[in-house]
Copies of this chain bind each other. A is one copy, B any other.
């Protein structure tokens, strides 16, 4: 047995552990979910929980099991190649995204069996003496993919539940959504960040998505970052100051969207029940000290302009965040909501990781020298690099271990159903 093989055996063992753990986490998330809640699609951009469950298994079947076995692969069900393919055009046609909610079949029980079938086959593979590196990397990718869908599953469910007449909780555990009133956050202070020629993006070692690479250098002017995220109380001042009525504060497209959609507040704030917003714990009072979440890029940008500031670029964020440990709260905290920052002057950046995704001013573009993954997996990120904005830092429903300083999330500028919040920035000379 060579050193290489030995290394791979160890890697396989770790991968198998990760695989078991992460797949079990997904199961936990849908524990006790009604089949009909799992089947419904609340809007074109959200998917049914059942679909997330099946799609993440399809990803392993398609890119691992089928890749290993080739034509000898006997699929669990032929049709899944189409209906649980999200958007990989190179491996066949995909069921239209906006029709995922038409899928009565397979039912939830069958999808659960599909997951078990996939796990059996995957764990058999992971038990092999020697796992080729390329395959191990695909499995690792599959696990990060699974984590992304864990978060989407929760945000999509939140959207669906918010539309129900009884606004039900996803988890009826009030203690998990109560946000401890530990004292008020201080007035927003600004952390000073140095400029210069710096390195950005992920290096060759360790897991990262293709879009985080290659590591490359950029020049940054010195800048200021808000020490914490913008709070609900602060955002309410924006609203009360006519923020949603003053076109001069908005990007032109943002103003159009606001008008068409009739936005007057963040997504889950209840116009008919002032002071309440919908959470994964049902309708709850809006904590003034908690960060505002469920705002679009357009709203974040308008708020920043109103506040005499701007959004940071993704590189400003990364420069500052790369100095700090990756500490949540993440989904494992079971808060399922974005908590307030600890009170008092901090003198350092808070709420950098977990809590809420932070909109940046940066369009999602390829890094210099970007190379997509080979084959169909090259569709994972690169083909979305148009009309999307980068978000950084993760949120309270991101799985621990999933984000890092170089992690680039991205959404359309009008997306509001993720846990998206606002960190401000300023030029130094201002």
Contacts and interface: CB of A to CB of B under 8 A. Distances in A.
A251 B385 contact: yes
Nearest to A102: B163
Contact of A34 (B35, B102, B160, B384): B35
A137 interface: no
Interface in A168-211: 168, 197
A160 B104 contact: yes
Interface stretch (A82-90, A143-151, A335-343): A82-90
Nearest to A165: B79
Contacts of A378: 248
B39 A40 contact: yes
B386 A298 contact: yes
Contacts of A9: none
B386 A105 contact: no
A119 B250 CA distance: 34
Given A102-B40, A166-B79, A248 B386 contact: no
Contacts of A247: 89-90
Contacts of A334: none
A165 B105 contact: yes
Contacts of A298: 386
Contact of A221 (B108, B216, B254): B216
Interface in A97-114: 99, 101-105, 107-108
Contacts of A99: 163
A213 interface: no
Nearest to A375: B248
Contact of A361 (B105, B168, B366): B366
A218 interface: yes
Given A36-B104, A165-B83, A254 B379 contact: no
B104 A368 contact: no
A365 interface: yes
A310 to B, nearest CB: 8
Contacts of A262: none
A420 to B, nearest CB: 16
Contact of A427 (B89, B104, B168, B368): B368
Contacts of A87: 252
Given A39-B40, A102-B160, 15 more contacts: A36-B50, A37-B104, A39-B39, A89-B255, A101-B101, A103-B165, A197-B219, A218-B218, A218-B219, A248-B378, A252-B379, A253-B387, A361-B366, A368-B427, A387-B387
Interface of A: 34-40, 42, 50, 79, 82-83, 87, 89-90, 95, 99, 101-105, 107-108, 160-161, 163-166, 168, 197, 216-219, 221, 247-248, 250-255, 297-298, 301, 310, 313, 361-363, 365-366, 368-369, 378-379, 383-387, 413, 427, 429
